[in-house]
Amino acid sequence: NAGVMQNPRHLVRRRGQEARLRCSPMKGHSHVYWYRQLPEEGLKFMVYLQKENIIDESGMPKERFSAEFPKEGPSILRIQQVVRGDSAAYFCASSPVQETEAFFGQGTRLTVV
Amino acid sequence: AQTVTQSQPEMSVQEAETVTLSCTYDTSESDYYLFWYKQPPSRQMILVIRQEAYKQQNATENRFSVNFQKAAKSFSLKISDSQLGDAAMYFCAYRRENFGNEKLTFGTGTRLTIIP
């Protein structure tokens, strides 16, 4: 059973471009969480999704950020018109139903130049 | 809102010695989970140990153990017989019990250095 897969591992975007980060949860996991880690800081919750539903997006910036977890395929975190302040490591975690432990991917490091 | 505080940005310990990392949290909930995660330079978040708030017994995983003081809202991690591979960032995290899945709230981390 492969772990949580995130790609790309590294992503460089120019200011104003779009960034698309992908997360494939572990097999059998229907819950996905996205977290952002700024340099020298802890992880901050962004959004929690189940298949085709956003359950909690209280940590998502109001503009430019969106997330989806379609019925088929990976979860996508999309950042439009990126700015330098979006540079961070973005982590995805997944868990099965009614479980306490979430399993993390290795993260995508986004650099905005 | 729940908060998690790690007051030690950096710690160091001699190889084979014991070190304790501190964590305090604030919550009005009675049922929750607490975690310690390790993040080595590879960036992978690795679960070290987990504690259910309803359990009085402190969790133990091999060389890792916790001191859970519910009334004081304290959750420290003790690493015994420290090894070079223990060098990493360590994050304390809180999760509310909500009959299902819930987000994690993390502290700012403690960078642990192992001195050979």
Interface contact B91-A95, CB threshold 8 A: no
Distance CA B47, CA A113 (A): 33
List the pLDDT tens digit at each of the 116 positions of chain B.
789 999 999 999 999 999 999 999 999 988 899 999 999 998 899 999 999 999 989 999 999 999 999 999 999 999 999 999 999 999 999 998 776 567 899 999 999 999 99
Distance CA A22, CA A78 (A): 9
Give B-chain residues touching A56 at CB under 8 angstroms: 103
Pick from B43, B50, B105: CB nearest A106 = B43
CB of A9 closer than 8 Å to CB of A110: no
Pick from A41, A56, A97: CB nearest B103 = A56
Distance CA B64, CA B20 (A): 10
Distance CA B38, CA B17 (A): 18
Pick from A41, A55, A102: CB nearest B104 = A102
Interface contact B108-A42, CB threshold 8 A: yes
pLDDT at A100 over 80: no
pLDDT at A97 over 80: no
Return the structure tokens found at B96: 């509310």
Distance CA A10, CA A90 (A): 10
Residue A40 makes CB contacts below 8 A (sequence gap 6+) with none
pLDDT score of B51:
95
pLDDT score of B99:
60
pLDDT score of B18:
98
- DSSP label of B2: -
Cis ω for the linkage preceding A8 (within 30 of 0): yes
The type of residue at B115 is: I
- DSSP label of A113: -
